[in-house]
Structure 1
Amino acid sequence: MIIRLSHIISQNTPSYGNKDRVFIRDNSSILKGETANTTCWVFSNNHIGTHIDSSFHFCQDGKKTFEIPLEEYFYKKVATVDIPCSEAKLIDVGDFDKLSSIDDNVELLLIRTGFENYRNDDKYWNNNPGLAPELADYFRTEYPRLRCVGFDFISLTSWKFRPQGRESHRQFLCPGGDKKSILVIEDMALNEAYHEFEWVVVAPLFVEDGNGGAVTVLAKKREL
């Protein structure tokens, strides 16, 4: 069975800081006697809805979304962890030290906090959790094959901890030296991600600017 781990884009899609919107309007309509249904989609920011951050988002010499090898968007070793959270905090190393169920060979780590349930409330953008900067190196050490982290809150940056969030983006996406980048998928739909998965595929929009953007994320449940 295939399930979707990304939200449907709509005009009600929340944005980080509540600053941006998606606008959808008819260009032509069969109901109005025209030949076909077509629409105009306007994103006031490409980092809205379920989306991926590439290295170019936070470092000028980082890889753009379309420059990343396509196989980097396909994952066979997937782990989902539950770290319940109902308000702003920095999820840190201590939260993961309590867990023992993550395979050392994990390629995609999904963090389910339950914060997705607040997606229609203001607290989703103004009181969201985030990931602490030191988690990036912790993940590289503990899970050397990890290529991507996704989660069910609006941004890697907590609105209440913005300076730390900016550093987290740099540490995950463009740490420098010989450290590898870890891709980030924000605002995922993980309420149904309680199964083991045979694979997960992430399908980004490839745009010439390439600092990130909307993704569709599909997963195949592992048969029992």
Structure 2
Amino acid sequence: MILRLSHLISQSTPSYGNKDRIIIRDNSSIKKGDTANSSCWIFSNNHIGTHIDSPNHFSETGKKIQDIPAGDFFYNVVSLVDIPCTNGVLIGINDLKKVEELIDINVELLLIRTGYENYRTENKYWNDSPGLAAELADYFRDKFPALRCVGFDFISLTSWNFRPEGRISHRAFLCPEDDKKFLLVIEDMALLATNNKINQVIVAPLFVEDGNGGAVTVFATIDTNSRS
């Protein structure tokens, strides 16, 4: 079975801080007598909806999306863990240790499901959202050396309640010091529908000039005969 793990892009897509919007309007319309349908899509921010952060998001010298080899967007060892959240807590090492045994030691993509997707139509989704603590970046690198990307079902790596920590977290994941490997981040994912073992994930970003991140379509193949 193949699932889409990215949300539909729409004019109701929530944004971090509730300050950005996506506008979709007709350029031409068959219903209005034109020969074809075409649309105008306006993103007031490229970091909105299901999207990926590249190192250039928090470092002027960090890699941009177009600098990352295409093969790095294919993940053949994927682990999904559940860390339920009902408010904007900061998820740290102690939370991951509780589910550590469920993570493949060779994991390339780690998906963290909190259930916060259930609040996506509410203000709570952006103004009381979970986040990942900066300490997790080195924890992931040490425990899972093959890890290249972390994705989750809340609006940003930065919790609205812990914004200073969130800025540190972004730098720790995306542009660490001492020549450590960067970890890509996929925010605002759709994870509720997958309860089975994920065999492969393909992340398809938009390749845009000077890409510090942007919208992605995420596909997963799952084994319907094996529960995760």
State the secondary structure of the residue aligned to 1:160.
helix
* Residues 52-105 of structure 1 deviation map (CA, whole Å, 9 limit, x = unaligned): 000000001100001101111000100000000010111000001111211110
* Residues 109-153 of structure 1 deviation map (CA, whole Å, 9 limit, x = unaligned): 000000000000000000000000000000000100000000000
* Residues 150-204 of structure 1 deviation map (CA, whole Å, 9 limit, x = unaligned): 0000000000100000000000000022210000000000001211122100000
Q: Residue 55 of structure 1 corresponds to which residue in structure 2? A: 55
Q: For 2:194 and 2:64, how far apart are their aligned partners in 1?
A: 28
Q: For 2:57 and 2:173, how far apart are their aligned partners in 1?
A: 11
* Residues 37-62 of structure 1 deviation map (CA, whole Å, 9 limit, x = unaligned): 00000000000000000000000110
Amino acid at match of 1:27: N
Q: Residue 189 of structure 1 corresponds to which residue in structure 2? A: 190
1:151 matched to 2:148? The reply is no
8 Å CA contact retained: 1:53, 1:212: yes
Q: Residue 69 of structure 1 corresponds to which residue in structure 2? A: 69
8 Å CA contact retained: 2:203, 2:218: yes
Amino acid at match of 2:65: T
Amino acid at match of 2:51: H
Q: Residue 41 of structure 2 corresponds to which residue in structure 1? A: 41
Unaligned segments of structure 1, at least 5 residues: none
Deviation at 1:222, TM superposition (A): 2.2
8 Å CA contact retained: 1:80, 1:193: no
Find runs of 4+ consecutive structure 1 residues off by over 6 angstroms: none
Amino acid at match of 1:45: N
Count of paired positions: 224
Q: For 1:193 and 1:57, how far apart are their aligned partners in 2?
A: 29
TM-score normalised per structure 2: 0.97
Q: For 1:219 and 1:97, how far apart are their aligned partners in 2?
A: 25
Amino acid at match of 1:55: P
Amino acid at match of 1:216: T
Q: Residue 103 of structure 2 corresponds to which residue in structure 1? A: 102
Q: Residue 139 of structure 1 corresponds to which residue in structure 2? A: 140
1:220 matched to 2:221? The reply is yes
1:173 matched to 2:171? The reply is no
Q: For 2:176 and 2:43, how far apart are their aligned partners in 1?
A: 29
Unaligned segments of structure 2, at least 5 residues: none
Amino acid at match of 1:62: G
Q: For 1:173 and 1:187, how far apart are their aligned partners in 2?
A: 17
Q: Residue 204 of structure 1 corresponds to which residue in structure 2? A: 205
Q: For 2:44 and 2:179, how far apart are their aligned partners in 1?
A: 35
TM-score normalised per structure 1: 0.99
Q: Residue 21 of structure 1 corresponds to which residue in structure 2? A: 21
8 Å CA contact retained: 2:196, 2:224: no
